[in-house]
Structures are given as structure tokens and as C-alpha cells.
Amino acid sequence: MSAISVRDLSMTYRAPVREGGLRAAVASLVRRRYREIRAVREISFEVGPGEVVGFIGPNGAGKTTTLKMLSGILHPTDGEARVLGFVPWRREREYLRRIAMIRGSQPIGGPPELTVMDSLRFQQLIYEVQDEEFKRNLSELDEMLDLGSLLERQIRALSLGERMRSGLALALVYRPRVLFLDEPTIGLDVSAVQMIRSFVATYSRETEATVLLTSHYMADVETLCRRIVLIDHGCIAYDGDLMGLSATLSPYKLVRVAVSDGACGDWSRYGEVVESEPGRVSLRVGRQDVPAVTARVLAELSVVDLAVEEPPLESVMDRVYREGVA
Amino acid sequence: MRLLRLFGATFSISLRRQLAFRADLAFQALTTVIGVASGLAALGIVYTQTRSLGGWGLGEAVVLLGTYQIVSGVLATFIEPNVVWFAGQVTSGKLDDVLLKPVPSIFLASLGSCAPLGLTQVAMGLAVVGAGLREMDAIPRAYNLFGWLVMLSAGIAITWASRVLLASLAFWAPAMELDVVYGAVWQFGRYPVSVYPQPVRFALTWVLPVAFVSTLPAQALVRGVGPALLLLGTAIGAASLLVVQLVWSAGLRRYTSATS
Amino acid sequence: MRRLMRLLSAYVWRQFLEVMAWREFVVTLTINQAITPLLGLAVWSAALPGRSGISTYYVALLVVQLMTVSYEHHTLSNGIYAGEFSNDLLKPHATVLPTLGMNVAMRIWHLLVGIPLIAALVLVVGVSLDARHSLLAVPALVLAAALRFVFTYALALSALWTQQAHWVVGFGETLIFLLGGSAAPITLFPEGVRPLGAALPFRAMLGFPAEIASGSLSGAEVLAGYGWQVLWLGALTATAAVVWRSGVRRYTAVGG
Ligand SMILES: Nc1ncnc2c1ncn2[C@@H]1O[C@H](COP(=O)(O)OP(=O)(O)OP(=O)(O)O)[C@@H](O)[C@H]1O
Ligand SMILES: [Mg+2]
């Protein structure tokens, strides 16, 4: 049985259109005009238990909307979804106890005057976590997130990174089975990002929790997710493993060559030159031509080093976002 | 039961929060005292000119004012801090957090935190009720006391329901912020509804049920209450609880969380 | 002086337009301001049925209330807390001008919004205004408006010392409600405290113009009332100036 199963899920926002000016304001009292925004259009996908799936797409694609529907914040306009067998937007207590939604833009809710520990205790109460379990979970979280000095501090005085760490602790202290992470690394520095990444990896491995993660940093997705679901303009454009994505999306590979004599006039007979400096070059070569081209390079030149690489995901995604999936 | 425990926890959290702001504390307490005293003084001046206001004697009117202060204190302590400027909360994403918690959302959104200092107003209201009874030179019969408590509970239920109902309006018309108007209409509870001319009196009983907050409970205490009215009060209190639940869940269906 | 008036009217116009953006909210504020006069009207009509002049007094009081509303604890104090006050200090003219402009704009809005309510009241409760009394009341209304502004402004300046300016101003408003003629007309105060009520500045800010308009004062009483108004305006303006000077010294020293 899959942990998350989504069928034909759609969300259409109705936003009132307001023009400027007094006359338009008066007119809008009488007859409102609405603009329909089809944020999510009949998407379907399944996620197995324990899977970590990257949910990616350009700005405004409908990622946050989907996560909100799956965590029960929004009622969809159409379609079905089951998470752990529950219909999310019924918001049953047993369901809410098993999930967590963490938003990078606002990792902690609740009164900012409270200390992190106060908030943790409150979570314990709300989620009915037994004392012993609470202590055990907390000490594990403490180890992974280095909470120690944060616990006694007031939330309002925390930096963004500290907020994110505390937010994770607050959300995970009750051991949710499904995690929705919406851009968890947004605005964080390099080492905080590393920490969050390895934390999510460890958490999902040790608790076998299912994770659905959105991010605009491809490195997050590359390190954490074997599978990605790509959404664009509210529709699913790709669903499969990460390697496959670059294979289908980008029909090229990068061939990096370093030569000893430095005297090589015309690289372009091997492939399209992406960058070059004396003695060194990167070539873009069609996938099916790679064996032939490398053989020719090795035969004709005195090669010091040669590597065949997938193109960087960022640039692949950039093309997808701009041009769509071919 | 679980909600009660939760309620206790939020109360203690809020108390700790409020204690952190000492100066606020002193000023708020002072303001409460002054507010109650000025209400009494205003009433006092009226009774230097007349012996009866809409059929209520001085002591009776004081009991009513005390009852009004009690309910106002409950409103200020438990309800108002949560739902004030609710439309802003809805757009700021605070409601998202509420919706994610495995607790009835209406409970967390409308009673999830409180301002314990408002309880001074409840205490002063009780004292004022006592003073009014003394002025009347009456010891209430047990049945009257019972009637007062029942009607008071109904009044508090109606208060909660109406305030949450007003806040839920934000789901349909987020630009309409009627908090100030609610506070203004609330003021009508200071005096017995019988002082108001007829269409207003009817409206204050059945449309904006201010009468249930102070007039009817006070009446039950000083004059007794028939079983019919007692039942009616209870029924309306219960009905308002039901209605607000329905409206709230209808509102949630329309909620389009506008956070990124 | 000419320049000052030009600047002030420019500010009033600007703020008037700014308030336009949240006019729905001004409607709720106006309703709120109208409540205490309406309550007074209801209570005193019930307490002294048939007594002439009560309804005229309270309708006039409603007009005075709307034309003297002061929200300096929101505009000025919050500006101080948010640090916008520094911008005002930088302006090459009297610092009070933006605040005063907002004050006047709000009063115009309150009056505009309140007109239907006032008209309805005049129709329903019956008001007997005569031209002579109304004319006599106009200067008193202007003085009251000035006095109320100076009073609230001085209290709102407490934001320069404490975080509690809202309570301070709220306290002032309670006094105005109780002693200014809103809870009860001063003329109905018990014998012993009436002269005190007549002499305090609160009546000069609110009740006095309404008393004149409802014709409940003799010529000598009107004259005495004007005397008190002028006296208090002088005294409160001087106080506000002193408070302002030491407040600004503190603000610039501490840096907000
Ligand atoms: N509450 C709302 N009301 C109206 N439209 C909305 C609302 N929330 C989102 N939208 C619109 O729905 C579309 C999808 O938004 P969503 O927030 O799901 O995108 P996203 O994929 O999370 O984008 P990002 O990467 O920028 O976070 C956008 O066009 C957005 O403008
Ligand atoms: Mg998003």
C-alpha cells in the first residue's frame, strides 16, 4: 500500500479582481469579478512508504498548493487523495498526529515570546507524546540538530537558521510518519543547509518516514531524493528517477578532456565547445555519439585526463523551466 | 477532558508570557479598575436624578453592571486575544499552523491563548455584583443564584459564538474588519435593555443578543427567572455553539491559505 | 503664519486621501465614537422621561464628539514606537504639523461618515435647535477641538518615556467620558460637584458646546464657560510645549 496516493487532484483559486479607483471600488460592491487561477490541474501520483521524493517545479507551479492540500490546510476543488489511508482535508485527529508540514518561509508558529522548550512541551501536550518518548525523541533531535543552547531561548530572538532547526525539532518530536517539507533550506547558509540535508536523510532512514520535499536548490534534491516529481503550470511533467530526468531532458553529456601538448587547433570537430582554456576543454556531445567521440579523442590526441559527465542538474532544470519538457 | 488540559496549559503559558511585561501589567490592572469605577460613577450620577431606570432600582442596576463586567472580563481574557484582527491572522498564515494541529481548529483558533490579567475584571465584576446585592439589602435565594449561573453561562456561550462568528466573516469578506463595531455594540450591555426605545430593544435581544449577556442573567438573580426563560436561554446558548461550529467549518472550506 | 496654514492644509489633504484607502475602517471607528453619546441619550431619556433639552444636548454632543476625535495615541505614539517620528523631526517645519494634519483629516472623515446618523437622530428623537444658540456654540466647538487635540497630544507624547502611551491616553479618555458631559450632562451633576465639573478642562473639551447649543446655559454661564476654555487652552498648550521639549531632548539623547 502506498503512503501517499493522489488522483486527479485539482485546486482552482478564485481571486476577486479589483481595479484601482473609487468607481471600481463601488462597482465591486455590487458585482464582484473573479479571476480563476488553476494552480493545480488533475495531478496524480503515488509515493510508497519510506520513500523520499523531490517535488520540484518553477515558481508558481503549484507545489505549495499541493502540499497544503495533502496536509489538510486546503480543500481541493476536485479529485482525491489518501495519505496513510486518510483523506487529508477531513483533518482527523489521528491523521494530523501522523504528519508534519514544515515551511522554510515560516518554520515556527505560535507566540514568539515562548522559549523553544516551552513550545516543545506544548507540542508534547497537543500531540499526546508520552513523557519517556518525549525525552528520548528530544535527546535524539538534540544530537542531530545541536539544539542544546537554543532550548532556553525565546523564539522571537532566533536567527533564521536557528528557527529552522527549532522548527524541525518541534515538528519531529512527535515522530510523524509523513513529512511535507516546503523549501526547508530557503535562506540558510551553507553549513546550515548541510545540516538540514543530513538530518532529513538520517530521520527518514531511521524512522522510515515518507518525505515529500520541495526545493529550488537542486543539490537538496540530488542528495536526498532518488525520485522526483516535476510539476509545471499545475500539471505533472515528469515522474521518475533523477538520473532518468537528465537523460530524457538533456540529450547531451559533457566530455571533459585535458591534453599534454596544448596544441590542438579545432575542438569543434569533436563536439560543441562549452568552455575551453589552453590544454583543457569541455565538450557537449550527443548521448549516442559519446563512445565514438571519446574513441576518436583518445586515438588522435595525447590525452592526460578524460571524463564523461551528466550535465549539471541546475542547467538542465533551467532549460526545462524555460522551455518545458520536450 | 483533553481540551480542558490543553486549556490549562495555554493558560499557564499565557500567564508566564504576561508576567514578562511588568509595566503592561500595572497599567492594565489600573485601567481595569478605572473602567469599572467610572462605570459605577456614571450609574451613580443617573440615580441622583431618578430612583428607577427602565424599571431597575440602583442596586439592581449595579448587579447588572457587575454581571456585564464579568462577561466582559471573560471576553477580554479568553476570547478577544485570539480572534482580534482575525483577517490579518488568516492572511499571515497563523491559521495554517492551527490547521495542522490535531486539535479542533475552532478551539485552538478562538481559545488557544489568553490574557490572564483580564481576570481582574471578572473579579471586580463579582465584587460589584456583591455591592449591588448589599445595596438592595437582599440575600439571593439559591434558585435565583442558580438561574443567574445558568443564564450567565448561556450569555458566555453566546458571547463566544458571536465573537467567533464575527471573526469567521474574514473567510468571506477579509476586508471587513468589524472588531471595533463589536466592541461598540457590546457597550449596550452596561444598562438594562429596557432603557432603549423599542426597535432597538428588540434588536438587542434577538439580533445582537446583548440582553443575554447582562440583562437576563441579572434579572434572574434579582427577580428570579421562570423555567421557560431558563430553558430558552439554555437552548439559545446551545444553538449558538452549534451554529458557530457549522459556520466555522463552512469557512474553512473556503479558506485559501495565502502563504508561500 | 500663511505658510503654516498652507502647509497644514496640504497635510490635511494628503492624510484625507490616505484615510480614503481604509474608509471602511473609518466607518467602524465612527460607529464606535457615536456609542457613548447614544448610550447617554438612551439612559437619560429613560431616567428623566419628558425632560426637555436632553435629546438636543446629546445630539449636539454627538456632533462635538465626532468633530473632536483624537487618535494621537495611534498616530503619534505608534510613530514614536516604530521610529517614524524621526522622519517628522527631519522636516523643516513644526513637527506637530503631520500629526495635526492627520487629526483634522480624521475629524472631517468622522463628520462625513456621521452625517447620516446625525440626520436620522434629528428625525427620530426630535431636536430643537435655535439659530442664536447654535451660532454661540460654534466658537466653543472650535476651542473644544483645539483643547482636545492639545490634551491628547500631550498624553500621547508619553510614548517618549514609556511603552504604555495607549493606557495613558485611554485614562484621559475615561476622564473625558466621565467628567466631560458624556456619562451625564454637567448640568445634571449633583449640586455639590457641579461647579467642579464646570471648571475642569474635560467639560471644555466636550460638553460645553453641546450645553450652549441645547440652550441650557444662561448668558453668564456661557461667558464663564468661554473663560474656562481659553484658560485651559493656554495652560494645556504650555504644558504640552514643556512635555514636548523635554521629550524630544530625551528622544534625541537616547536615540528613540
Ligand atoms: N491563496 C491564493 N489565492 C489565489 N491564488 C493563489 C493563492 N495561493 C497561490 N496562488 C496561485 O497559485 C499558483 C500556485 O502557487 P503555489 O504557491 O502553489 O506555487 P509554488 O509552486 O509553491 O511556487 P514557489 O516555488 O514560488 O513557492 C500561483 O500562480 C499563485 O499565484
Ligand atoms: Mg511555494
CB-CB neighbours of A320 under 10 Å? 23
> Is A218 or A48 the better-scoring residue by pLDDT?
A48
Domains of chain A: 4-246 (3.40.50.300), 251-309 (3.30.70)
pLDDT value of position B68:
96
Cβ-based contacts of C24 with chain B (< 8 Å): 175-177
Ligand that lies nearest to the alpha carbon of residue B258, given by its number in the listed order: 1
CB-CB neighbours of B26 under 10 Å? 12
Helix (H, G, I), strand (E, B) or coil at C126: coil
> Which chain A residue's Cα is nearest to B19?
A113
Nearest to B257 among A68, A111, A128 (CB): A68
Give the separation between CA B113 and CA A22, rounded to whole angstroms.
Answer: 39
CB contact under 8 A, B31 and C25: no
Instruction: Name the residue among C188, C192, C217, C198 with its Cα closest to residue C48.
Output: C188
Does ligand 1 have an atom closer than 6 angstroms to the CB of A62?
A: yes
Q: Does C142 touch chain B (CB under 8 A)?
A: no
pLDDT interval class at B130 (50, 70, 90): very high
CA B115 to mean position of chain CA atoms: 14
Give the separation between CA C94 and CA A245, rounded to whole angstroms.
Answer: 67
Query: Taking residues A174-182, what's their average pLDDT?
Result: 94
State the amino acid at position C216 in one-letter form.
S
Instruction: Name the residue among B208, B133, B127 with its Cα closest to residue B166.
Output: B208
Ligand that lies nearest to the alpha carbon of residue A57, given by its number in the listed order: 1
pLDDT value of position A135:
94
Q: Cα Rg for chain A, rounded, in angstroms? A: 25
Whether pLDDT at A19 is above 70: no
pLDDT above 70 covers what percent of chain C? 98
Locate all alpha helices (DSSP H) within B50-102, ordered by sequence.
58-74, 80-83, 86-92, 94-100
ipTM (interface pTM) = 0.89
B85 and A58 in contact (C-beta within 8 Å)?
no
Burial A252-290 (b: 16+ CB within 10 A, else e): bbbbebebeeeebeebeebbeeeeeeeeebbbebeeeeb
Query: Taking residues B7-23, what's their average pLDDT?
Result: 80
CB contact under 8 A, B101 and A126: yes
Give the separation between CA A125 and CA B8, rounded to whole angstroms.
Answer: 11
pLDDT value of position C5:
87
Whether pLDDT at C251 is above 90: no
Whether pLDDT at C4 is above 80: yes
Q: Which chains touch C (3 or more CB pairs under 8 A)?
A: B
pLDDT value of position C28:
92
- Give how far B257 is from chain A: nearest CA, Å: 7
Q: What does pLDDT average to over chain A?
A: 86
Chain B interface mutation, best of C39, C62, C196, highest count of B Cβ atoms under 10 Å? C39
Q: Does B24 touch chain A (CB under 8 A)?
A: no
pLDDT value of position B128:
95
Does ligand 1 have an atom closer than 6 angstroms to the CB of A59?
A: yes
Ion ligand 2: residue ranges with CB closer than 5 A = A 64; B 260
Whether pLDDT at C255 is above 60: no
- Cell numbers 521518475 correspond to A240
Which runs of E-coded beta strand occur in chain C?
none
B window 139-158, beta carbon within 8 A of A: none
- Give how far B201 is from chain A: nearest CA, Å: 30
Q: Does B100 touch chain A (CB under 8 A)?
A: yes
Give the contacts of C29 (CB within 8 A, at least 6 positions apart). B180, C69, C110
pLDDT value of position A27:
61
Q: Does B20 touch chain C (CB under 8 A)?
A: no
Q: What is the DSSP letter of B53?
A: B
Q: Using one digit for the tens of pLDDT, what is the confidence trace for C27-36?
A: 999 999 999 9
Give the contacts of B257 (CB within 8 A, at least 6 positions apart). A68, A73, A74, B93, B95, B96, B99
pLDDT value of position A236:
92
Least trusted range by pLDDT, from A90-94, A111-115, A296-300, C153-157: A111-115
Q: Give A97 Cα–ligand 2 centroid separation in angstroms.
A: 23
Query: Taking residues B161-172, what's their average pLDDT?
Result: 92
Whether pLDDT at A32 is above 70: no
Helix (H, G, I), strand (E, B) or coil at C211: helix
Whether pLDDT at A11 is above 70: yes
pLDDT above 90 covers what percent of chain C? 58
A209 and A203 in contact (C-beta within 8 Å)?
yes
Give the separation between CA C62 and CA C112, rounded to whole angstroms.
Answer: 13
Does ligand 1 have an atom closer than 6 angstroms to the CB of A37?
A: yes
Give the contacts of B54 (CB within 8 A, at least 6 positions apart). B191, B192, B193, B194, B195, C46
pLDDT above 70 covers what percent of chain A? 92
pLDDT value of position A265:
66
Query: Taking residues A17-22, what's their average pLDDT?
Result: 62
Backbone torsions φ then ψ of C223, nearest 5 degrees: -60, -45
pLDDT value of position A281:
86
pLDDT value of position A18:
64
Strands A235-241 vs A210-214: parallel, antiparallel or unpaired? unpaired
Q: What does pLDDT average to over chain B?
A: 89
Whether pLDDT at B109 is above 70: yes
What are the CA-CA distances from residue B172 to residues A11, A17, A33, B94, C24 (Å)?
18, 15, 15, 17, 16
Q: Using one digit for the tens of pLDDT, what is the confidence trace for C50-88?
A: 887 899 999 999 999 999 999 998 888 888 888 778 777
Chain B interface mutation, best of C30, C35, C155, highest count of B Cβ atoms under 10 Å? C35
Q: Using one digit for the tens of pLDDT, what is the confidence trace for B2-14?
A: 888 888 888 888 8
Ranges of each domain in chain C = 2-253
pLDDT above 70 covers what percent of chain B? 100
Whether pLDDT at C242 is above 60: yes
CB contact under 8 A, C162 and B23: yes
What are the CA-CA distances from residue A172 to residues A85, A139, B105 (Å)?
21, 12, 20
Ligand that lies nearest to the alpha carbon of residue A68, given by its number in the listed order: 1
Helix (H, G, I), strand (E, B) or coil at B19: helix
pLDDT value of position A263:
58
Query: Taking residues C177-184, what's their average pLDDT?
Result: 92
Does ligand 1 have an atom closer than 6 angstroms to the CB of A234?
A: no
pLDDT interval class at A219 (50, 70, 90): confident
Give the separation between CA A48 and CA A1, rounded to whole angstroms.
Answer: 7
Cβ-based contacts of A109 with chain B (< 8 Å): 93-94, 96-98
Q: Using one digit for the tens of pLDDT, what is the confidence trace for A260-295?
A: 876 566 788 888 888 888 788 888 888 888 888 888
Q: Does A38 touch chain B (CB under 8 A)?
A: no
CB contact under 8 A, B99 and A75: no
Does ligand 1 have an atom closer than 6 angstroms to the CB of B258?
A: yes
Whether pLDDT at C256 is above 60: no
Does ligand 1 have an atom closer than 6 angstroms to the CB of A124?
A: no
CB-CB neighbours of A305 under 10 Å? 10
Does ligand 1 have an atom closer than 6 angstroms to the CB of B260?
A: yes
Grid cell listed for C19: 484615510
pLDDT value of position B242:
95
Give the separation between CA A50 and CA A211, rounded to whole angstroms.
Answer: 7
As a dihedral over the C-alpha atoms of residue C190, residue C191, residue C196, residue C202, rounded to 10 degrees, the angle is: 40
CB-CB neighbours of B150 under 10 Å? 19
pLDDT value of position B189:
93
The residue nearest atom 8 of ligand 1, judged by CA position, is B258
User: SS3 letters for chain A?
Assistant: CCCEEEEEEEEEEEEEECCCCHHHHHHHHHCCEEEEEEEEEEEEEEECCCCEEEEECCCCCCHHHHHHHHCCCCCCCEEEEEECCECHHHCCHHHHCCEEEEECCCCCCCCCCCEHHHHHHHHHHHCCCCHHHHHHHHHHHHHHHCCHHHCCCEHHHCCHHHHHHHHHHHHHCCCCCEEEEECCCCCCCHHHHHHHHHHHHHHHHHHCCEEEEECCCHHHHHHHCCEEEEEECCEEEEEEEHHHHHHHHCCEEEEEEEECCCCCCCHHHCCEEEEEECCEEEEEEEHHHHHHHHHHHHHHCCEEEEEEECCCHHHHHHHHHHHCCC
Q: What does pLDDT average to over chain C?
A: 90
Strands A235-241 vs A227-232: parallel, antiparallel or unpaired? antiparallel
CB contact under 8 A, C46 and B24: no
Q: What is the pTM of this model?
A: 0.84
